[in-house]
Amino acid sequence: MTPALTVVRLGLFATIQDLGRFGFQELGMPVAGALDPLALRLANALVGNPQGMAGLEIALLGPALRVDAPSVRIAAVGPITMTLERAGEAPQPLAPHRSHTLQRGDILRLGAVDGASVACLAVAGGFDLAPVMGSLSSYVRAGIGPLGGRPLAQGDRLPLARDGAPDGPDVELPQPPDYGAGPLRVVPGPQEDRFTEAALATFLSAAFRVGSQADRMGLRLEGPALEHRGSADIPSDGLVTGSIQVPGNGQPILLLNDHQTAGGYAKIATVISADLARAGRLRPGDALSFRAVTVEEAEAIRRRQEQAIAGWIGAIRPVRPASGVDLEALYGENLISGTVDIVHGGSDLPLL
């Protein structure tokens, strides 16, 4: 039988996503892809995959998955609870931001996502699924992608590309990734001239809140109304992830991965690419604000973010044993020079 993860209990909303389906927006096809691409990239790194490999995006509450393979290595990144159920043993909590090697018959219960809208799960080797238009991203509104483009359903079998977990120890991130804080950074426009000066000032100074209408397509924001110069409507033009449209009621809409490819509302600003993961993690009720940057500043911020991601991945290390003492790492250290430093620092007597 093909090795797989089998859905034995359904969660609320989980889909297969990679980093997106690019090159087809002119045909009306959204990019889709992971709302939190940073989490997907790091989860893949933890199991030894290329960063863009497809994983499972879990919203709100995850499913329970049974391991129908000799073994599998998994890693989740994001604020999600996980529990391992193994025959003959008490349920065991599993930590995110590290890998875990599971055995045949184990049940991985993916619980609540608390503190963000989504978390990402990667499996070593990825899923053995056929890409659609070059991508394994699921665009649920049109039923495009693996599994018919739909969310996971009870009894689904997610075929694994590997027969078993790779050799070597489980690994961990030394600390959770830093998404940053403060206002989401935006580049004004491309239609900021369609708004009054007061509206532009309000947009960059007021606090907004994510309303109840929030999904993978976008977030309707609640806050002070932004006044247009004349009509809110423009000739339809292209949209990108992070575009902030403002319809006639003056309440902004922040577009996310499943957004339409063209639209006829004036856009006051665009969230920079380095902050899209933060935007994708927002939930109904979350507060947010905006700060303007230039295109050049946005490019520099993105370069710094990529350097930080490379640093986090480079810092991935074998999981420390429960005793807290990693003997292999200890034996690999230069203990002699450390002893010399301690003696010099703690005594005025010369070394013999």
Q: What is the pLDDT of residue 331?
A: 52
Residue 340 has pLDDT above 70, yes or no: no
Q: Which residues contact 248 (CB under 8 A, 6 or more apart)?
A: 228, 231, 232, 233
Q: Please write the tens of the pLDDT for every residue from 107-161.
A: 999 999 999 999 999 999 999 999 999 999 999 999 999 999 999 999 999 999 9
- Contacts of residue 262, defined as CB under 8 A and 6 or more positions apart, other chains included, come to 28, 236, 237, 238, 239
Q: Confirm whether 351 is domain-assigned.
A: no
User: Taking the alpha carbons of 221, 222, 223, 225 in that order, is the dihedral positive or negative?
Assistant: positive
23 within a domain of the structure (yes/no): yes
Mean pLDDT, all residues of the chain: 92
The two structure tokens encoding residue 85: 């159920």
pTM of the model: 0.90
In this structure, the number of other CB atoms found within 10 A of the CB of residue 81 comes to 18
Please give the residue range of the domain that contains residue 251: 184-307
CB 178 within 8 A of CB 269: no
Tell which of 140, 172, 204 closes a domain. 172
Q: What DSSP string runs through 107-154?
A: EEEEEEE-SSSEEEEEETT-B----BTTB---BGGGTBSGGGGPPP-T
Q: Which amino acid is at 291?
A: R
Give yes or no: residues 149 and 248 share one domain.
no
Q: Give residue 323's pLDDT.
A: 54
CATH code: domain of residue 188:
2.40.100.10
Tens of pLDDT, residue by residue over 180-229, are 999 999 999 999 999 999 999 999 999 999 999 999 999 999 999 999 99
Residue the block writes with tokens 């002699």: 336
Closest CA to 223 of 243, 246, 197: 246
DSSP state of 308: H
How crowded is residue 320: how many other Cβ atoms within 10 Å of its Cβ?
12
DSSP-based three-state secondary structure for 188? strand
* Domain end among 120, 152, 172: 172
pLDDT of residue 338: 45
Number of structural domains (the chain) is 3
Strand, coil or helix: 262: strand
